[in-house]
Homo-oligomer: A and B are copies of this chain.
Amino acid sequence: MGIDPGLTRCGVGVVDGRPGAPGTMIAVGVVRTDPEAPLADRLLSLDDGLRAYLEEYEPEAVAVERVFSQHNVASVIGTAQASGIAILSGARLGLPTATYTPSEVKSAVCGNGTADKRQVTAMVTRILRLKEAPKPADAADALAIAICHLWRGGVKARIAAAVNKESSR
């Protein structure tokens, strides 16, 4: 399950698959919170919304996009708070929880760490063989994060397995 953290719109994408193969989209959506509501209520709504996805789809791992301070300074704090809650939501269930930088996600999906949002959406649509592009962009990003984890996590797991095999000889 990939999460594109945000306080007003938090993208969620669930993908089934394995490294090197095109995956299958299981679910995609956005958890929204009311920008006019008190912060405590918003964080609680976000936590509840993410928990509902985790309980419904029971993912094997959670991947969250890393927050950078280069972002809009006014929104970075809210995004960081949302990311903390997203990472905690996976960790609380004992799931492996990884973070990826935006450029890692773009590289994995587009082969180019500086791809723009349009390119990411187009590649996600193609990789998952969707009839329509997922909307809004937060949802497409969440699917890209899930694909990134599937592919990169798989490679890491294969390397770890090879190292183990080698060292157990």
Contact = CB atoms under 8 A, between A and B. Distances in A.
A77 B84 CA distance: 9
Interface in A53-84: 67-69, 73-74, 76-78, 80-84
Contacts of A165: none
Report the copy number of this chain in the oligomer: 2
Q: Is the interface of A mostly helix, strand, loop or mixed?
A: helix
A44 B85 contact: no
A121 interface: no
Contacts of A87: 39-40, 43, 81
Interface of A: 38-41, 43-44, 47, 67-69, 73-74, 76-78, 80-85, 87-88, 90-92, 97, 99
15 contacts: A40-B88, A40-B97, A41-B91, A43-B87, A47-B88, A69-B73, A78-B80, A80-B80, A80-B84, A81-B81, A81-B87, A82-B84, A84-B84, A85-B85, A88-B88
